[in-house]
Amino acid sequence: MAKVKKQPRPKAETPKGFRDYFGAEVTSRSEMLAKIAGVYHRYGFEALESSAVETVEALGKFLPDVDRPNEGVFAWQEADEGGNGDWLALRYDLTAPLARVYAQHRNDLPTPYRRFAMGPVWRNEKPGPGRFRQFYQCDADTVGAPSVAADAEICALLADVLEEVGLGGQYLIRVNNRKVLNGVLEAMGLEDDAQKDAVLRTIDKFDKVGESGVRELLGKGRLDASGAYIDGVGLSEAQAEPVIAFLTSKGETTEATLANLGAAVGASEIGAGGVAELREIADLLAAQGYEADRIVIDPSVVRGLGYYTGPVFEAELTFEITDEKGRPRQFGSVAGGGRYDDLVKRFTGQAVPATGVSIGVDRLLAALAASGKAEARAEGPVVVTVMEKARMAEYQAMVAELRQAGIRAEVYLGNPKNFGNQLKYADRRGSPAAVIAGSDEFEQGKIQIKDLILGARIAENATLEEWKERPSQFECPRSELVARVQDVLAGRGQ
Amino acid sequence: MAKVKKQPRPKAETPKGFRDYFGAEVTSRSEMLAKIAGVYHRYGFEALESSAVETVEALGKFLPDVDRPNEGVFAWQEADEGGNGDWLALRYDLTAPLARVYAQHRNDLPTPYRRFAMGPVWRNEKPGPGRFRQFYQCDADTVGAPSVAADAEICALLADVLEEVGLGGQYLIRVNNRKVLNGVLEAMGLEDDAQKDAVLRTIDKFDKVGESGVRELLGKGRLDASGAYIDGVGLSEAQAEPVIAFLTSKGETTEATLANLGAAVGASEIGAGGVAELREIADLLAAQGYEADRIVIDPSVVRGLGYYTGPVFEAELTFEITDEKGRPRQFGSVAGGGRYDDLVKRFTGQAVPATGVSIGVDRLLAALAASGKAEARAEGPVVVTVMEKARMAEYQAMVAELRQAGIRAEVYLGNPKNFGNQLKYADRRGSPAAVIAGSDEFEQGKIQIKDLILGARIAENATLEEWKERPSQFECPRSELVARVQDVLAGRGQ
């Protein structure tokens, strides 16, 4: 063996923008994903797990126009004698891989193809507070179904997911349609693509700058919060009016909203078609019991209007949280999606209709925590302490019994010399109970059980009387180990 | 918007050595992993999900001694103005990240730290048949527990996992100990490190070449199957004898094996210590009910002896399968592990005892399929067909009812014109039933239900009488939709 040069010690650090997830962070996410997968499955969607690595070519969006295409994605070139290896990259979402999978396997997949996918995606972006370069997505998409019945189904699916995870009565799914906006642009007589794009970009800011802000930006321009002057699109007030009418057309009822939209698109055929689609979606959903208190036509939803080609959806949570500055605000968006009919075309030349939704897993987990719906369980293991090292086999037999009864349990496997450390360990693990047996107990066929749940409660707020009455440690025969620990877990104490 | 140059169409292909997983492939894996996680949890292990991306520095093993350290791992350099960005890489296993996590967070983690992890890992290796560059691992490790009680616990855990997934009575966990081998080398009087390494490498081939092969390789050398001559270590027959004695010391009983090992290590103190450890492991396991028919001391287990520092374990499945050439052979190994006390030292300078096991997820899934234990369920959705496009809301209401009753169901969302295509789709999805309603049915408040399970059975092997007697399609009132579909799913047909 060749001598190894002495290396400096490596740093034990996650790369910048990455993090580790521990214990309940991992299990509550997987429990939530399992619930979502259950709903997706019930709707007839099939699981798909594509590889984390794709060719840069297949991912598209980030085609290598420079030697090193690592803007936005983590990419590398395969080793190859001639330096001509493929460029590979980590997927940045679950939609681009779906397009590749569908194009690759379309002859073997059913049409329509309903698929769901959940897993990490990676973005090579500057990390920020709470923004990580690896995060989970959880998508459901229907490929090959042109009818808006597919879009309506995605909305119903999303509502059922939010009900399933425990957010019933606390969400609103808002639906808009890119075709209506196209109709508005047509009604305005905008022909120049650059000007259309400018209007689209402006509409995208509606969430931030509101109606008056959009008016200014469509016209002469606007002084933004930082004091910088943002040039406007240069439309007259009359020209801008249909856009404003579109954005503010939400009425008291679905009928009223649809009437307002009909007016906004004027004589545009594509616009009228878009309004008819929204009406059909609302009708289909109403027939399944989803009324406007859960899924509503709302043209003020603009996120993604530039990307999607038909209906667009966004799920918002309606309860208030307190932001980092102590101000109340609505929790906001947890999922979004829509119809994108051109995605597969890149590969095959044929347009394939597709519609789907992506759930922001971390946002949804945060929402569950904020709404108090995240299960807060004391689920630490029962710790069997070690008083006599030579009796290890007997301690192990105790945990084996507990585990066989389905109770989470372990023997203390650190250095048993300092008994205090063993109880500190049990505390750190959130243990509900500690089992104690020394030579006296072994001789008498007994064990001690320390009720750590009760102990913690007593330590917090019990009177001296209560303390005396319900000692948090008690003795019992060895043979009653499982039964008495079950009592403690059930809160029945001694 | 700038004009985009016309690009050639991208290829819709997974990168070489990667693959996609569909439907049941995904769900049976996640069901198996959930079962394993349940056992790990019951044993007191905590979930850990580290990031898929690590610094090459932290991963170790593959330190960048060349500009492009992509041998074995997928690695890339972070973009950085000066070209001095960190080298990052995808993790190649779950143990190296554990070492990094433990070193990084050791002050916040309990000691001992029991953790489990499951997820994909990536290897930049030449792909081959059945060998992929992304695959799942599923590990449990205990860090900070020096006692062999921790090793025994890992063996018990592994046995319980194999029982839980349904392989009870079909596995054997074999345990060896690197310290015993060290004792043997000491007893042989081998002092030269190069010679020790040569002996270790030879022992590693015991699985392939057997006792006589190892004898030849320890001595003068050996003609291998390809006709090439492999140089031997050059030991005399007498010198080689303790190694052979070690490898073949498995006796009829654990006592006999331990006695044989005791003889093989002679006067070596470290060897005697290793034998004592094996005895303690056997005793601890016996106290919990794990006898030699499930976990056995077996010094012929050599895999990993070079890597581990103490006890080594390997789980084998004992049932026979037929290999690709039609010959019967044992299924073989599905999991392995052992004690590795130096892993964290790279980061901190302090040795931290650790022991653990890694389960080969894909091997275990293949084993479950081979043993017939994989659940083969017809779990396609009930398909509500579309006869009248204008009635879509009513069809959607039907699936909504079915889903609310917990039945997997969907409306056919493809082009409904060709009804035959709808039934072909149902067939392709493995649907248990199709629901059919045209204008006649709607007028009469009825539906037709096609029992596709029964239909398939009849098509296969029914007599004409049976066919007549139990038609696979029947009519019922619309109000009985859910109840009658439930009948079909329960195999009660009409």
A210 touches chain B (CB under 8 A): no
Q: What pLDDT, on a 0 to 100 scale, did the predictor assign at position B80?
A: 73
Q: What does the pLDDT average to over A383-404?
A: 94
Count CB neighbours of B81 within 10 A. Answer: 6
- DSSP secondary structure, B121-185, as one string: EE-BS--BTTB-SEEEEEEEEEES--SHHHHHHHHHHHHHHHHHTT-TTSEEEEEEEHHHHHHHH
CB pairs under 8 A between A and B: 307
Distance of residue B386 Cα from the nearest chain A Cα, in angstroms:
12
Q: Taking CB atoms and an 8 Å limit, are B88 and A27 in contact across chains?
A: no
Q: Which residues of A touch B51 (CB under 8 A)?
A: 14-15, 18-20, 134
**Percent of all residues in chain A with a pLDDT value above 90, rounded to a whole number:** 62
**Percent of all residues in chain A with a pLDDT value above 70, rounded to a whole number:** 91
- pLDDT bucket at A471, cuts 50 / 70 / 90: low
Distance of residue B262 Cα from the nearest chain A Cα, in angstroms:
22
Q: Which residues of B touch A18 (CB under 8 A)?
A: 51, 53
Distance of residue B31 Cα from the nearest chain A Cα, in angstroms:
10
Taking 70 as the threshold, does the pLDDT of residue A58 lie above it? yes
Q: What does the pLDDT average to over A226-254?
A: 89
pLDDT digits (tens, 9 = 90+) for A253-283: 999 999 999 999 999 999 999 999 999 999 9
Which residue in A has a C-alpha nearest to residue B90's C-alpha? Answer: A90
Distance CA B203, CA B214 (A): 7
- pLDDT bucket at A71, cuts 50 / 70 / 90: low
Within chain A, all domains assigned CATH 3.40.50.800 are found at 382-489
Distance of residue B36 Cα from the nearest chain A Cα, in angstroms:
13
Report whether A330 belongs to an annotated binding site. no
What string of pLDDT tens digits covers the 494 residues of chain B?
A: 455 556 688 999 999 999 999 999 999 999 999 999 999 999 999 999 999 999 998 987 654 344 444 568 899 988 776 777 889 999 999 999 999 999 999 999 999 999 999 999 999 888 887 789 999 999 999 999 999 999 999 999 999 999 999 999 999 999 999 999 999 998 888 878 888 888 888 888 888 888 999 999 999 988 887 888 888 888 888 888 889 999 999 999 999 999 999 999 999 999 999 999 999 999 999 999 999 999 999 998 888 887 899 999 999 999 888 877 888 888 889 999 999 988 889 899 999 999 999 999 999 998 888 877 665 555 899 999 999 999 999 999 999 999 999 999 999 999 999 899 999 999 999 999 999 999 999 999 999 999 988 777 766 665 656 555 556 889 999 999 999 999 999 876 55
| A residues 306..345 contacting B (CB < 8 A) | none
Taking 80 as the threshold, does the pLDDT of residue A33 lie above it? yes
Report whether A55 belongs to an annotated binding site. no
Nearest CB neighbour to B381, from listed A44, A47, A58: A44
Which residue in B has a C-alpha nearest to residue A42's C-alpha? Answer: B408
pLDDT digits (tens, 9 = 90+) for A102-144: 999 999 999 999 999 999 999 988 888 778 999 999 999 999 9
A197 touches chain B (CB under 8 A): yes
Taking a C-beta distance cutoff of 8 angstroms, is the pair A176, A311 a contact?
A: yes
Q: What is the DSSP letter of A230?
A: E
Q: What pLDDT, on a 0 to 100 scale, did the predictor assign at position A258?
A: 96
Q: Which residues of B touch A122 (CB under 8 A)?
A: 52-53
- pLDDT bucket at A374, cuts 50 / 70 / 90: low
A413 touches chain B (CB under 8 A): yes
Distance CA A446, CA A449 (A): 10
Kindly give the interhelix angle for A361-370 and A24-42, rounded to the nearest 10 degrees.
110
Q: What pLDDT, on a 0 to 100 scale, did the predictor assign at position B231?
A: 87
Q: Taking CB atoms and an 8 Å limit, are A415 and B23 in contact across chains?
A: no
Give the contacts of A284 (CB within 8 A, at least 6 positions apart). A148, A149, A152, B392, B393, B396
Residue range A24-52+91-370, CATH number: 3.30.930.10
| A residues 16..75 contacting B (CB < 8 A) | 16, 18-23, 25-27, 30, 34, 37, 41-44, 46-55, 57-58, 60, 63, 68, 70-71, 74-75
Asked which of A81-90, A445-454, B206-215, B380-389 is least confident by mean pLDDT, the reply is A81-90
Rounded to 10 degrees, the C-alpha dihedral A191/A195/A196/A202 comes to -160
Residue that wins the pLDDT comparison between B126 and A148: A148
Asked which of A312-316, A390-394, B64-68, B284-288 is least confident by mean pLDDT, the reply is B64-68
Give the contacts of B333 (CB within 8 A, at least 6 positions apart). B303, B314, B315, B316, B360, B363
Asked which of A201-205, A391-395, B483-487 is least confident by mean pLDDT, the reply is A201-205
Within chain B, all domains assigned CATH 3.30.930.10 are found at 24-52+91-185+275-370
Residue range B24-52+91-185+275-370, CATH number: 3.30.930.10
Within chain A, all domains assigned CATH 3.30.930.10 are found at 24-52+91-370
Report whether A190 belongs to an annotated binding site. no
Strands B409-411 and B382-384: parallel
Distance CA B409, CA A157 (A): 12
Distance CA B482, CA B271 (A): 69
Q: CATH homologous superfamily for B382-489?
A: Anticodon-binding domain (3.40.50.800)
| A residues 343..372 contacting B (CB < 8 A) | 346-349
CA distances from A141 to A115, A165, A294, B306, B421 (A): 6, 20, 21, 49, 21
Q: What pLDDT, on a 0 to 100 scale, did the predictor assign at position B72?
A: 84
Tokens of A348: 């095959």
Q: What pLDDT, on a 0 to 100 scale, did the predictor assign at position B461?
A: 66
Q: Taking CB atoms and an 8 Å limit, are A429 and B286 in contact across chains?
A: no
Asked which of A226-230, A360-364, B98-102, B138-142 is least confident by mean pLDDT, the reply is A226-230
